[in-house]
Every structure is written in C-alpha cells, then in structure tokens.
Amino acid sequence: MRRTLTLLAGLAALPAFAQPPTAPVPEWSEPAAPHVIYGNTWQVGTKGLSAILITSPQGHILIDGTWTKNAPLIEANIRQLGFRVEDIKLILNSHAHHDHAGAIAQLVKDSDATVRATAAGAKAMKLGGKDPADPQYVANSKDSYPAIDAKGDIVDGTVVTVGPLKLTAHITPGHTPGGTAWTWDACEGSVCKHIAYADSLFAFSSGTYRYSDHPAYVAAYWKTFDRVAALPCDILVTPHPEQGEGQTCQTYAQAGRDRLKEKLAEEAK
C-alpha cells in the first residue's frame, strides 16, 4: 500500500480499512509481540504490518514479509515462538507493494524458501515493486525493494502444500494486479476454523492513473469483492491487522466495494 505524507490529512477521516499508508511510517519498523491467531497460525509481523506463519513438523509457510528493513524483526519473532527460520519452505504474498513484500528477498536468503505468486505478482516482485501496471505506480518513487525471484505459477484455486499444510489461492486483483487472498484450516484439538488472509481492497491511485480509464480492470475489481465475501472465513486476517479488526469477509468486501464506488464517482466529476 502506498501514500505520500501529503495525503495524510485528506485520508484521516477514512476508516482504518481505507488507509493506504507507506513509508516513512516510523512504527512499521518497530517490533510487535508475536502471537497465535489460531492453532498453528501465528502473527509474526511488526507494528501495523502482518506476516503470517503457518507451521508444521515438516516445514512452515510464511505469507508476506512487511517492510524492507524488517526481516530481522520477523525472524526474531519466529525464533521467539520456538520455530526455526530455516524451516520456512514456502513464502507467499498478498500483494507486491514494499510494505508487504519488501523483506521477502532477505527472508529467502536466510531460509532458502521458495517464493510463489500469481504471474502479475511475480512480475511486480521481480521489478522490486515498481510495476507500471499498478494503479499506485510512480516512476520516480523510492518505494522499491530488492528484486525477488518468484515463481509466477499461482492461479485461482491453486492449492499449495508443505507437509500437511494446504493453502488455497483466491485471485483478488484490484488494489494491485496480482492481489491474492489465501485460505486454510487451523485446528485446536478437534475444533477447526477457516482462516482467510484477505488482501487489501482499498482503491487508491497515484499520479494520473484513473480507474475509469481501465474498464476491464474495474470489472475484475468488482468480481474481487464478491470473491472475498464468499471466502471460507471464520477468522479474517488482513495485511494491515487493524483493517480486519471487527470485520467479517462480507463487511470487509463491502467496505472495499463502497470505496471503489466513491473513487469512480470522484473521477467522474
């Protein structure tokens, strides 16, 4: 997610869901205590940024890497929980902005994990987040990160596995072309719950980009809201943790739908 500091005042009235912050946001480089979400699913990110660890005796899956400089904080959280960074076998991504993918290159170096993404997501990561197809692309932006050699083999419905872990991809373009939600089941004893890690849905653009100039992209965006609303979703987790607090997948999707309507109305003026 991106924004410049000049946008802070104008966005202050928006709900937490709608905030598209970017660096420099000082607290995003501050540690946050790792904690269990449910069962074998853990939050190991930093303040304001999610990194989700799903664990098994045969290896772990990590979703998102937060900001570029945060790899040591994420790794410290993983070790604090008693897990080994070297046991991460697969790294996935929600979307390829620097505040969610920035540290992945270092995490790959330290874990030797494989990175898998959609074709669009992999393209953006190989460009260090500077993807001209992204509505938030700014040619001279400093919001880039080390290039990531990601496999672009994820399509809608792809099931990725590590040992007993099985995560399903749900393609959700809109906030970025490669946006992806992930779902899986986590259990505590005999009680299992559906966890949905839903990507950011906020419609935000930089520079001269206008959604209304890209009808096919907008059509895919509308479908994203329906897809997110229909996810198996006992527990909703989001790339910025506060976005999902008190929300269901249905209310989260509706907030995104309402924001895109507002954005298109703004562009029509």
Render the burial of 62-76: b for 16+ CB within 10 Å, e for the rest.
bbbbbbbebbebbbe
**115: exposed, middle or buried (Cβ count in 10 Å: 0-12, 13-18, 19+):** buried
Nearest CA among 37, 38, 8 for reference residue 22 = 8
Catalytic residue numbers, as ranges: 95, 97, 99-100, 175, 209, 240
- Residue 118: strand, helix, or coil: strand
Structure tokens at 255: 């907030």
| Phi, psi (deg, nearest 5) at residue 43 | -95, 115
- Cβ neighbours, 10 Å, residue 30: 12
CA separation, residue 49 to residues 1, 94, 227, 241 (Å): 11, 12, 23, 6
Nearest CA among 29, 24, 25, 78 for reference residue 51 = 78
